[in-house]
Structure 1
Amino acid sequence: MERDFYTFCTAMKTLDIGSAEGRGMSPQNYATIRLALAACYGKLSKGRVGSSLELTSEQEEHRERKGRHYCGLKEKGKRKDHERICIPGVAAAALSAVVFARMRHSSLEVLLCGLSLFDVLVLSSTLLIYPAMNACQNEPDPTNSRVCHFFWRSTLIAYPLSLIAQAGSVWTCVAITFDRFIAVFFPIKKRVWATPHTSTYIICGVAFFSVLFKLPAFFEITLNEYGQITPSSLRLDATYQLVYMTYMYLIFILLIPWTVIIVLNGIVIQKVREAYRTHKRLTQRNTRGRRDTDERKMTVMTIVMTGIFVLCNIPPAINNIIESYAPQYRDRYRHRIPLSTLLVCVNSASNILIYCWFNRQFRRSVFRLCSSAAYKRRASEYIRASKEASMSQTLKNKL
């Protein structure tokens, strides 16, 4: 019974987003289904359809609120997790990109700058989609709502951009893993193979590949004649879903990148552990030793960063696999999609904490940049106040 109700509520929720005219049904039938949706909100306690008539207004409001939660609908103002993560996350990722762009002394710093830019795009796309979607789901008349029309139109751009940014983040992590592998096992050749110039070309190549690979996403959704977002014929094509959305996703987003990241990081971890044991036996510390220590810290930082990246992207991967191979469980796991997106946002927003913890130069650059901005703001305020004071004094003298 519970499962049947969940399926029914999901269908009613989908139907509730559109209008009677948009769905091609008569107003009478639409009114009947709206009554059924209201019964879904009430959850039909103890099987008595008319029991809600005997309730007080407070009890009925409480039952409707529970029914909305049961049907998978969100209350207005209750889903602020994405905003709380993404808004400071965009600022943090942008700050990281600016700092690494100013540093650019090594190949790793260029790659981390590119990763920060992809993080900005991921978080910005999420900010365009989820807050407007949550607000639209609480609108009584979505077809005449400016919020819903903004959500439908912005999703046309934000949805494919988020996929491009996620693909770019995946392959940038692969490039970072290769960079650390070369730094650990080929430290001399690294000066030739892994340079800032080479890393710039790699980031450009990753961006080009991501745009090319996710280009079909721009044609997966469209707007109908009423301005509502709807899947396109390409998105509903069975061959497209099987070949592109299933096999190519598994190969180019999951199988190859994750295998490279996990295997190379495992090898690098063993080498770093040996290096730490060797470092403990050393008694003399010179400039070369300090440089090696900094390299090991950067390697540990990238291992932690890519490890958190893989962990936070496991739930989205599971959701995609369920969508492709187990459609019978699709409705059961669909409510976890916002949680999976939230984990991706947490990963993108928290990278600056990892950089600050392991990279002393990055930490100093952030402090210097923030203090410089604060000093300039105070100086401009002082100059403005001085000008206003001098102007007021001049006016007094004239009077």
Structure 2
Amino acid sequence: MNRSTLLECDTDMGVPDSDKLFRFVVHGILLNAIGAGGLLGNALSVLVLSRPQMRSSINCLLVGLAACDTVLIFTSVLLFGLTAIYPYTGALRYYYYHICPHLTPYAYPLANVAQTMSVYLTLIVTVERWVAVCHPFRAKALCTSSRARWYVLGTAIFAFAYNAPKFFEAEVVPEGDPEAGEVIYCVQADMNFRTDKYVIVYIHWMYLVVMYIVPFSALAALNACIVRQVHRAQAERARLSRVQRRELGLATMLLVVVLVFFLCNLLPLVTNAFEVFLGDAFDNLDPLVKTTNLLVTINSSVNFVIYVIFGEKFKRVFLKIFCAGRVRPRGLRDSPEHTRDDSFASCGERMSLRLARNGTLRRSEMRSTRINRPRRAASPAPTVYYPAPTPSTDVSLASSDAPPSAVRWNGNSRLHF
């Protein structure tokens, strides 16, 4: 049986070759390639962010965000990436007509759940940074790891509750004659469940409000406050403490995350508005829908790259895990922040106080990188150097009046179908 006589679903009939080619390039090539990189990047993000030295409320939220993005990428590849191959190339026919139709009633709602969680976890991350940057005295009580876990759990409950109706929207219908030798399965909307009122209220308006208007408005307002505070802090950066500078750097990194979120979800917002206000005329904008699915996948795949570029601590821990300490970020080789925060080692420098000839204490710096120095076996206390007695000085008095040993001090979008 040649391809022209194979059974097809009604939705596959009459599709122009140009649309098949566009879908193959956007979904079959780009979405699959970016999704594969995103799955690897999110796995590395979870590995780094879950390290003991990275434990914090914000990193707990970022782990939850990476997990949601992983589910979103995986379901997008199953629903869009792999299914774009057969209509143009003829490969993966069994997956297209037998496996994917049975996955769709479950993968489609899970994709929407993951997308909802991703949007609102991004909002919660922004709220957490707003508290830490604009209200630092309240951050200790509000921004804790235990609270962050509850935020992730609450977001998951909300996402499943909001997207619960989507589990009943699709049904699988067999096509063909078993006696003729071939049966295919097609996915279609359950018209008894997806009534016109349901589509207008839930699919269009509630989606526009819950997934775009509310989170986008809150993100815009909160990030405006954060940007203003960061701009003020930049002017006084020299007077900031190390902890304040780290919070400032973390806020900048998350601002980039939110900016990418806005850019990747702007076109999905526009297409959803077109769908609400244009109605049936929106069917002519199908290439925009395919592009929005790609942008949503990109948004879920690039956070690891942002963490590596803008997150200094993330970069240090990542290199420590995979380079075993042989490679360090340039410019951070001997900084106290590098050693104290992340590896729980001592500070980068040791300070020793020695007795000077004039009876005062002199501070001398000794680099911590001087290793393999011979140790004295006589006493664990550091050696104290006394002034040599002059010929006219009583040696016994000089030794009896000598002070005790010197002190040494050692200082961390929417998925369209």
**When the two structures are superposed, what TM-score results if normalisation uses the length of structure 1?**
0.71
The question of whether the paired residues in 2 share the 8 Å contact of 1:133 and 1:148 is answered with no
Write the distance in 1 (CA, Å) between the matches of 2:193 and 2:31: 26
The question of whether the paired residues in 2 share the 8 Å contact of 1:17 and 1:137 is answered with no
Structure 2 residue corresponding to 1:264, chosen from 203, 222, 226: 222
Write the distance in 2 (CA, Å) between the matches of 1:358 and 1:350: 12
User: Where do 5+ consecutive residues of structure 2 fail to align?
Assistant: 1-6, 176-184, 325-417
Write the distance in 2 (CA, Å) between the matches of 1:128 and 1:107: 32
The question of whether the paired residues in 2 share the 8 Å contact of 1:139 and 1:145 is answered with no
Find the counterpart in structure 2 of residue 48 from structure 1: none
Find the counterpart in structure 2 of residue 73 from structure 1: 20
Which one has a larger percent strand, Structure 1 or Structure 2?
2
Which one has a larger percent helix, Structure 1 or Structure 2?
1
Write the distance in 1 (CA, Å) between the matches of 2:299 and 2:173: 35
Task: Name the aligned partner's letter for residue 266 of structure 1.
Answer: A
Write the distance in 1 (CA, Å) between the matches of 2:323 and 2:293: 33
* 1:365 is aligned to 2:312: no
Write the distance in 1 (CA, Å) between the matches of 2:60 and 2:125: 10
Find the counterpart in structure 1 of residue 105 from structure 2: 156
Task: Name the aligned partner's letter for residue 296 of structure 1.
Answer: L
Higher mean displacement: 167-176 or 154-163: 154-163
Find the counterpart in structure 2 of residue 347 from structure 1: 299
Task: Name the aligned partner's letter for residue 256 of structure 1.
Answer: V
Equivalent positions of 1:272-311 (< 5 A) are: 272-280=230-238, 282=239, 289-311=241-263
SS of match in other structure, 2:236:
helix
Task: Name the aligned partner's letter for residue 111 of structure 2.
Answer: S
Note closer, same or farther for the CA distance 1:306–1:222 as it changes in structure 2 (3 Å cut). Answer: same
Write the distance in 2 (CA, Å) between the matches of 1:278 and 1:141: 61
* CA distances 1:131-164 after superposition (whole Å, capped 9, x unpaired): 332134247799x844322221222222111111
Task: Name the aligned partner's letter for residue 127 of structure 2.
Answer: F
**When the two structures are superposed, what TM-score results if normalisation uses the length of structure 2?**
0.68
Find the counterpart in structure 2 of residue 4 from structure 1: none
Write the distance in 2 (CA, Å) between the matches of 1:167 and 1:212: 11
The question of whether the paired residues in 2 share the 8 Å contact of 1:107 and 1:194 is answered with yes
SS of match in other structure, 1:225:
strand
Structure 1 residue corresponding to 2:281, chosen from 326, 329, 335: 329
Report how far residue 364 of structure 1 moved.
Answer: 2.0
Structure 2 residue corresponding to 1:170, chosen from 106, 119, 125: 119
The question of whether the paired residues in 1 share the 8 Å contact of 2:57 and 2:143 is answered with yes
Write the distance in 1 (CA, Å) between the matches of 2:283 and 2:204: 18
Find the counterpart in structure 2 of residue 213 from structure 1: 162
Equivalent positions of 1:1-399 (< 5 A) are: 17-18=8-9, 37=14, 68-69=17-18, 72-74=19-21, 78=25, 79-103=28-52, 104-138=54-88, 145-226=94-175, 227-233=185-191, 236-280=194-238, 282=239, 289-371=241-323
The question of whether the paired residues in 2 share the 8 Å contact of 1:315 and 1:340 is answered with yes
Report how far residue 234 of structure 1 moved.
Answer: 5.1
Note closer, same or farther for the CA distance 1:97–1:232 as it changes in structure 2 (3 Å cut). Answer: same
Task: Name the aligned partner's letter for residue 150 of structure 1.
Answer: I
Write the distance in 1 (CA, Å) between the matches of 2:88 and 2:167: 27
* CA distances 1:200-259 after superposition (whole Å, capped 9, x unpaired): 100111111111111111111110133211111256311111111122112211111111
Higher mean displacement: 159-168 or 355-364: 355-364
Write the distance in 2 (CA, Å) between the matches of 1:355 and 1:235: 43
- Percent identity reads 24
The question of whether the paired residues in 2 share the 8 Å contact of 1:89 and 1:350 is answered with yes
Task: Name the aligned partner's letter for residue 151 of structure 1.
Answer: C
Task: Name the aligned partner's letter for residue 82 of structure 1.
Answer: L
* CA distances 1:154-188 after superposition (whole Å, capped 9, x unpaired): 22222111111110011001101110110012212
SS of match in other structure, 1:80:
helix
Note closer, same or farther for the CA distance 1:75–1:304 as it changes in structure 2 (3 Å cut). Answer: closer
Note closer, same or farther for the CA distance 1:274–1:141 as it changes in structure 2 (3 Å cut). Answer: closer
Find the counterpart in structure 1 of residue 399 from structure 2: none
Task: Name the aligned partner's letter for residue 298 of structure 1.
Answer: L
The question of whether the paired residues in 2 share the 8 Å contact of 1:93 and 1:120 is answered with yes
Larger Rg: 2
User: Where do 5+ consecutive residues of structure 1 fail to align?
Assistant: 1-15, 24-33, 41-66, 283-287, 373-399
